[in-house]
Structure 1
């Protein structure tokens, strides 16, 4: 039985993904802030408490999981927040960068041993089409000198894409069996658009979402394809096939030039290690 862990399964994409994996017979671990809600929505799943905005919670989650599981076959880094007013995590990082990127960076690193022991193991990191608009502000990652909610969301989604590709480089260099794959859902109708966004951004999303967005089950397809299709290779990026990658069936898409920048990948990796304190147990075979 495939052991699959998904972050953020109580609504939207995560809930749609989890239902498909449960139906195909996976042992699904739901990593969520509210395990009781996850259990009600997804009977039979193993719901565990995880707060990606607190790195202490991430470490506690990984330690507890390691007690009960000897391997992990699939990790889907799905949970996220969007367009929030400037807020800091428990460790003082900007919330969107902290939850969307740093929490998943730490979680993946802390579970790498379980993934290595898995059967055809795979890490799928969920980015966004908006990663193409992102810029990583290394000189002001917390938004002290200037904060725009959507600009910092775009930054976090670029960080997801950079991380997924840099992880693939490092796994390949180490001869690891783990595949690191990226996916994005296009413009999908979830509560993400309204849960945190404020002001003009919230108004625009309220208008555009019913007109353009696809439903969560359709938006989940590129992520499920990246997670389950046997032909998928590490370093690939999947999204919708329609115009502007807004909606449609899964297809291979091209990440932005910044996402593919290996030097940016190394720099973000070093910063992420420093901010999380998580070092990946990977060594290049060429050393």
Structure 2
């Protein structure tokens, strides 16, 4: 009897783990929308959820632009996207979000070579890095995660408006819920903390999305911010190695339950193509569904103040 029980017991345990993992994986985008004749630009699309998003967009028939910093990896990713999607209309363009000059160069390139831009997916990011500065002297996480995308989006707005209805999708994070915009020390020079910096940059994504929607009202360019979930990607490359060994060991069981890049890309894809969202703008999403952002992510005064500060910092004011 004991032998039989020992053989049977793992079955419900295994089923339970499978069900738990499936639940943690979150929603899946079910939209069958086609993107034939449309152009999609995705930042940081050479790895992780950016690459999975690119594959999905290419499968739907879009012309896909991978805007990446590492051209070698980007070209290899483009080859993979073409192969997996069966769509050869996938190209690579150089973009270093830590350089405003690079952002301006990409925007100029796109304006001159692309007849339309239907979808801008601001996906690239850096997480919990040491106290680094961008080429222009901004704190790295705020500079890359927010300011680079803020400038890129603004420079491409005319093309997005020309191609309307079009969308801007900003990949944020649940981390915005504990974030604060440090207007008196935006680069955190007085007291840098990697977590605080990341939270600030992700809150900036949500506020940017909200204010952009206000400014684009009536243009048929709609905006979306989202939390992709906790995903096993390269985004944690700076975070995990900095932890003591005992903390890394504690994290090992946790990795069994994190999302795959494909699962993590689903909400980005949902915000990019789902037909039901065409007349909504400025909202926040998680697991392929709308979710109310944290109170500080719904602060319209802070959103306007952040816009004005960001415009001044990148030279748009």
* Fold shared by both chains (TM-score > 0.5): yes
| Aligned residue in 1 for 2:133 | 88
Rg: which structure is higher?
2
2:15 is the alignment partner of 1:15: no
| Aligned residue in 1 for 2:285 | 238
| Aligned residue in 2 for 1:152 | 197
Query: Contact 1:8/1:14 (CA < 8 Å) preserved in 2?
Result: yes
The CA distance in 2 between the partners of 1:10 and 1:259, in whole Å, is 29
Structure 1 residues 208 and 151: alpha-carbon distance in aligned structure 2, compared to 1, 3 A threshold: farther
SS of aligned partner of 1:42:
helix
SS of aligned partner of 1:265:
helix
Aligned residue-pair number: 268
RMSD, matched Cα = 1.7
The CA distance in 1 between the partners of 2:70 and 2:191, in whole Å, is 33
Q: Structure 2 length as normaliser, TM-score?
A: 0.81
The CA distance in 2 between the partners of 1:191 and 1:38, in whole Å, is 14
Query: Contact 1:86/1:143 (CA < 8 Å) preserved in 2?
Result: no
Q: Structure 1 length as normaliser, TM-score?
A: 0.89
Higher helix share: 2
Deviation at 1:207, TM superposition (A): 3.2
Deviation at 1:113, TM superposition (A): 0.6
Query: Contact 2:209/2:283 (CA < 8 Å) preserved in 1?
Result: no
Runs of 5+ consecutive residues of structure 2 not aligned to the other structure: 1-36, 80-87
2:241 is the alignment partner of 1:194: no
The CA distance in 2 between the partners of 1:80 and 1:176, in whole Å, is 28
The CA distance in 1 between the partners of 2:73 and 2:254, in whole Å, is 26
2:223 is the alignment partner of 1:185: no
Runs of 5+ consecutive residues of structure 1 not aligned to the other structure: 241-249, 280-287
Query: Contact 2:164/2:219 (CA < 8 Å) preserved in 1?
Result: no
The CA distance in 1 between the partners of 2:136 and 2:244, in whole Å, is 27
| Aligned residue in 1 for 2:18 | none
SS of aligned partner of 2:66:
strand
Query: Contact 1:163/1:265 (CA < 8 Å) preserved in 2?
Result: yes
